[in-house]
Chains A and B, each alone.
Chain A
Amino acid sequence: MNNIFIDVDYAQIYKHGQKIGGDVFLLSRNPDSNQIVCTLSDGLGSGVKANVLASLTAHMAHKLSFSPISLSHSAEIIMNTLPVCKERKISYSTFTIADIHYGENKENINVRLVEYDNPLSLRFSGSQKIAWTREKNELQRKNAFKKEIVQYSSFNMEVGERLIMFSDGVAQSGLGKSLPLGWRNSGVEAFVSDLISKEPDISSRELSAAIVQKAHSLDGMCSKDDITAVVVYIRRPRKTVIVTGPPFLKESDAILGEKLKAFDGRKIVSGGTTALIVSRLFNAKITVDLSCWSPDVPPASKMDGIDLVTEGMLTLSQVANVLEKKIPPASLPNTPVKKFVEILLDSDQIHFIVGTKINEAHQDPNIPVEIGIRRTIVGRLRSALEDIYLKETSQEYL
């Protein structure tokens, strides 16, 4: 697993009264070609028409970015395909494409940015704004009353840097109300810089949500346009290790202890016997917390040095169910499953250490079939985390 994580997330509020948005954001990760493409498109107007046009633009931009065609050529194709509004003589949608390429270990992160008529993106290193040069290209299209300007730039991003893209709904929020000219880029910049200096590790999800909320409040909680903010944040990954099952050989117990001690991140121990082994190795006492459990999920325990200690198979299969059904943790009852899912969703890289010893007690025919095979459940967890939540996972047997 690499030591750099590219955290991309966005937040969005539709124009007040609309059930569908004219801002469309698309994100794709293509690990095979070490590429991430983010596309933000804003269709003219709002509602269904805008959504169709923005979707069209975003999908075109997206597909073309993954093709070998150069980004400037792609932009030209999109611009020429976009319909121009009959009355206003301007094109129907605008776009920002961030085409992120990275090296084998997520090093040398290079971003190629194409901006067309959206508010200009911002870059921050920590809370400091970064200025960079953009190359302007003019394009004259048929029927358009003016030349279109597409701006290209290419830059490298280091750990701790952020790229922030947003639609005009953000830059123009508060227009004519609290602010005569709206929030504007300078306002967004000051807000983001202030927020990052207060919370240096703020995640992309939280930062984008904060920008959108602020814009919404400037609009008097009655948004005048679709409001969308996208944040790309290069940071160290938040890691979690899950230890489940006793090692096949008793001699491997010590290896398990060493691995767990050396791990830099959050630690979950799932399994009664495993917890006993860890408590012996760490010389820490286990206290079972009888206050939170349900008939499906046995209670969790507390142990110094471990963030969460739970029972094994029942808890894991419930966690897998919750992840597969995409149930938000906030709506879960207060059981160890809730805590477990919260930790997982709050991590970027999740490592499983799976003990392969057969549990004699589970060979009893009276045991319900739901208690499956540990490997199967770990497999379910990993595919849910990777496919649905875009987490990185790894696994080893002991």
Chain B
Amino acid sequence: MKKEKVQVRICVGTACFVQGGSDLLLYNDFVDPAVIAECEIEGCSCLEACKVNGEGAPYVMINGEVHSKVTQEEFAKLLTQAVKNA
């Protein structure tokens, strides 16, 4: 059976974009291409997470779960983890 891809949404709202979200959009540069191939990465105009818990931008949603203050390093880790678990 074909494995389902990991659904990734990066918030590109103003607050997220200026606080590191723009770095995450460069995922091709720092995430393993094999991992990227297993993910479906898309942008999102606002995840509306900043208004709920306010833990800190940028926010990323991976398979429905919201992560806050995601750095490039963490993003790569989170994706690798998610692909492994899928």
Residues of A within 8 A of B (CB): 271-273, 275-276, 286-290, 293, 295, 298-299, 301, 309, 311-314, 359-362, 364, 366-368, 371
Contacts and interface: CB of A to CB of B under 8 A. Distances in A.
A312 B17 CA distance: 11
Contact of A311 (B14, B54, B56, B57): B14
B45 A371 contact: no
A288 B15 contact: no
B50 A361 contact: yes
B74 interface: no
Given A288-B42, A309-B45, A364-B57, A272 B18 contact: no
A-B pairs with the 8 shortest C-beta distances?
A: A288-B43, A272-B46, A272-B13, A361-B50, A361-B15, A272-B45, A298-B17, A275-B45
B46 A287 contact: no
14 contacts: A273-B45, A289-B43, A290-B43, A298-B13, A299-B25, A299-B43, A301-B45, A359-B14, A361-B15, A361-B54, A362-B15, A364-B56, A367-B15, A368-B18
B17 to A, nearest CB: 4
B56 to A, nearest CB: 8
Interface size class of B (residues with CB under 8 A): 20 to 34
A298 B19 CA distance: 12
B44 interface: yes
Interface of B: 11-19, 21-22, 25, 41-46, 48, 50-51, 54, 56-57
Nearest to B27: A290
A332 B63 CA distance: 37
A107 B46 CA distance: 45
Contacts of B48: 273, 276
Contacts of B44: 286, 288
B25 A312 contact: no
B13 A311 contact: yes
Contacts of A362: 14-15
B12 A361 contact: no
A311 B14 CA distance: 7
Nearest to A294: B22
Nearest to B57: A361
Contacts of B41: 290
B45 A276 contact: yes
Contact of A272 (B12, B25, B42, B56): B12
A4 to B, nearest CB: 37
Contacts of A312: 14
Contacts of A366: 19
A366 to B, nearest CB: 6
